[in-house]
């Protein structure tokens, strides 16, 4: 029997496509991770900040301005609250970020000078912004292409070290890779020569270089998805990336290093209930889906993969397709190694 106690209430933004994110302050393998910091988490979410505007009659009206708020748990300490407009002002040559579409926190491997929490935020305008306690640390313009919104992102759980090209004393920096997903290219009002709806970004950082942070796009040779991307999931070792799509397919991508170069290879896809075709994977991998109705009436199946995750150690893949529009949802567990 478990007893659940509500110890706080958080007010979120009225209308938002952005999910909140909860992450550990330090990685479990971090040398700086003491018993006190092992159970410290950060929660980032989109909230609303009320601002007063004075009109000509000197009467004030309240406006609700979207803001990114970060809270330290379980202490329930407010780390920062930064409005989207303030973030936009801090970015050079950015006139309109639009809505914040996705948030993802980054676990630290060591303390960073005067920064508690590090967060990646993707925006409707197509900008990817790295925030440290709400302060802009680095900006990457249009990694998916001009004006293509960043709908979802996921950070590789492992990191590697490499020599920093901008350092003269052969300083090694920590590098993490980030997967970005967007809508189907056909739904975007943009040029047909855009990069597409999937991209990989390198995040390079080191606290010994006056808090050095840099976001850069990785030029890949990987075919884009025909449909939009709704979610990502990395396996614990960072070698396998699952990509959840709008059409009910789960694409599997192999990510590894060879001769100190990043290699990205598509392995094929799994096909969930309600999707259009059977799955197809390279080699001995296989997948199945139901093609016959369960009863006298043909069942309608929802298709959009809302979330996916790899289980710890066992490496099973779990995908979730919520019910919507009268269609059935599904929660599937995949043994992709059978």
Mean pLDDT confidence for 293-310: 70
316: preceding bond cis by omega (within 30 degrees): no
pLDDT of residue 215: 95
**% of the chain residues with pLDDT over 70:** 71
Q: Which residues contact 73 (CB under 8 A, 6 or more apart)?
A: 22, 40, 41, 42, 43
Structure tokens at 166: 């901008």
The tens digit of pLDDT for each residue in 196-208 reads 689 999 998 875 6
Predicted confidence (pLDDT) at residue 271 exceeds the cutoff of 70: yes
Contacts of residue 292, Cβ cutoff 8 Å, sequence gap at least 6? none
Q: For residue 197, what is the DSSP state?
A: S
**Alpha-carbon gap, residue 137 to 135, rounded angstroms:** 6
Quick: pLDDT tens for 23-57: 999 876 655 555 566 689 999 999 987 766 555 45
Burial degree of 78 (CB within 10 A; 0-12, 13-18, 19+): exposed
Domain assignment of residue 303, yes or no: no
With 60 as the cut, is the pLDDT of residue 298 above it? no
Q: Is the pLDDT of residue 228 over 80?
A: yes
Could you tell me which residue, 192 or 162, shows the higher pLDDT?
162
The domain containing residue 32 runs over which residues? Answer: 21-51+61-224
The two tokens of residue 220 are: 């890949």
The reply to whether 271 falls in a domain is: no
**Per-residue pLDDT tens digits for 61-120:** 457 789 999 999 988 999 999 999 999 999 988 989 999 999 999 998 777 778 899 999
8 inside domain = no
In the chain, how many domains are there?
1
What is the pLDDT confidence band of residue 193, given thresholds at 50, 70 and 90?
A: very low
- Regarding pTM above 0.85, the answer is no
H helix runs in the chain, sequence order: 35-38, 84-90
pLDDT of residue 27: 76
- Residue range 117-143: mean pLDDT, rounded: 95
Structure tokens at 305: 């993969």
Query: HEC profile for 243-301?
Result: EEECCCEEEEEEEEEECCEEEEEEEEEEECCCCCCCCEECCCCCCCCCCCCCCCCCCCE
Burial pattern 244-274, b for ≥16 Cβ within 10 A else e, equals bbbbbbbbbbebeeeeeeeebeebbbbbbbb
Mean pLDDT value across residues 122-137:
95
Q: Give a yes or no: residue 245 inside a domain.
A: no
Q: Is residue 27 part of a domain?
A: yes
Measured CA to CA, the distance from residue 33 to residue 110 in angstroms comes to 8
Kindly state whether residue 313 falls inside one of the protein's structural domains.
Answer: no
């Amino acid at each position: 029997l478990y007893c659940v106690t509500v110890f706080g209430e958080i007010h979120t933004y009225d209308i938002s496509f952005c999910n909140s994110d909860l992450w550990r302050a330090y990685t479990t393998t971090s040398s700086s991770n003491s018993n006190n910091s092992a159970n410290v988490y950060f929660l980032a979410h989109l909230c609303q900040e009320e601002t007063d505007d004075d009109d000509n009659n000197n009467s004030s009206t309240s406006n609700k301005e979207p803001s990114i708020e970060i809270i330290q748990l379980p202490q329930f300490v407010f780390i920062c609250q930064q409005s989207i407009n303030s973030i936009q002002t801090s970015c050079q040559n950015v006139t309109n970020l639009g809505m914040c579409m996705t948030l993802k926190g980054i676990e630290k491997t060591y303390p960073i000078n005067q920064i508690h929490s590090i967060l990646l935020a993707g925006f409707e305008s197509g900008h990817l912004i790295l925030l440290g306690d709400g302060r802009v640390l680095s900006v990457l313009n249009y990694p998916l292409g001009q004006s293509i919104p960043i709908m979802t992102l996921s950070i590789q759980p492992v990191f590697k070290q490499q020599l920093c090209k901008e350092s003269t004393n052969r300083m090694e920096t920590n590098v993490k890779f980030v997967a970005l997903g967007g809508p189907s290219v056909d739904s975007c009002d943009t040029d047909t020569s855009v990069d597409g709806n999937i991209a990989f970004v390198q995040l390079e950082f080191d606290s010994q270089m006056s808090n050095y942070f840099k976001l850069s796009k990785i030029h890949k040779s990987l075919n884009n998805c025909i449909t939009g991307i709704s979610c990502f999931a990395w396996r614990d070792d960072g070698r396998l990336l699952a990509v959840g799509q709008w059409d009910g397919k789960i694409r599997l991508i192999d990510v590894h290093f060879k001769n100190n170069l990043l290699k990205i290879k598509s392995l094929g896809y799994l096909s969930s209930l309600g999707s259009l075709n059977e799955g197809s994977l390279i080699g001995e991998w296989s997948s199945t889906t139901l093609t016959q109705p369960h009863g006298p009436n043909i069942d309608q199946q929802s298709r959009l993969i809302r979330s996916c995750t790899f289980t710890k150690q066992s490496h099973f893949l779990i995908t979730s397709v919520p019910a919507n529009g009268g269609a059935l949802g599904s929660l599937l567990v995949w043994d992709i190694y059978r």
